[in-house]
Amino acid sequence: MSAYVQQAIQVSGVNRTELVAVCAYLIRTRQATGQHDAIKQLASGKYNASELTEQMIRSFQVELEEEVTDEE
């Protein structure tokens, strides 16, 4: 693993397993233009792991409507 990627992991607090998902999320939400840009932003300290995890969870959440049933 390159020192640059290792720096991104240490600065942001994202672990190796989450790194791919975080980079994909940043690219998908157009916060980064590509993998290199996403890793560069993580290494710069622009994001931290807890904020990114919360953003990713919120992006996948869907509000479900409760079904109302009439029971007699």
> Where is pLDDT greater, at 22 or 66?
22
CA 49, 3, 15 angle in degrees (round to 5)?
25
What's residue 29's pLDDT?
92
pTM: 0.75
What's residue 24's pLDDT?
92
Q: What is the pLDDT of residues 25-69, one digit of tens each?
A: 999 999 999 999 999 988 888 888 888 888 888 888 888 787 777
- Burial classification of residue 31, based on how many CB atoms lie within 10 Å of its CB (0-12 exposed, 13-18 middle, 19 or more buried): middle
Domain map (residue ranges) of the chain: 3-52
Residue 8: pLDDT band (50, 70, 90) is confident
Other beta carbons less than 10 A from residue 6's beta carbon: 12
Please give the Cα distance from 39 to 33 (Å, whole number).
11
